[in-house]
Amino acid sequence: MAMSSHSIAETKDRLSELVSRAEKGEEITITRHGRPVARISAAESKPKPYRITKEDVAWLRKHRVRGKIPKEDAGTFVSRMRDEEWPR
């Protein structure tokens, strides 16, 4: 798709129009004193789905709690499990 360049002043005056054009796929470059300083482009509509790996399933199996229910609330429990050993 096309790309266009606009000064900051022009961008302020035509922001709604430029955002509409960006939504349609155009990349808008904003300039200051003729130099590119920012871009307007369409945002991704959907986040990419997280794929669960075999390693994720193995970690969950290893950390499965059996028997007694922990005395701490679920949020604290999950945070502790995440912070202790979750690979980053």
- pLDDT tens per residue, range 60-85: 888 887 777 667 888 888 888 788 76
How wide is the angle at C-alpha 85 spanned by C-alphas 83 and 72, nearest 5°? 55
Residue spans of the domains in the chain: they are 3-40, 54-85
Identify whether the C-beta of residue 32 lies closer than 8 Å to the C-beta of residue 8.
yes
Sign of the four-CA dihedral 48, 54, 58, 61: positive
* Residue-wise pLDDT tens digits, 13-28: 999 999 999 999 899 9
Confidence of residue 54 (pLDDT cuts 50, 70, 90): very high
Write down the pLDDT at residue 11: 95
Domain 3-40: top CATH class: alpha beta
- Whole-angstrom distance, CA of residue 78 vs CA of residue 48: 23
Round the average pLDDT of the chain to a whole number and report it. Answer: 86
Q: What is the pLDDT of residue 5?
A: 93
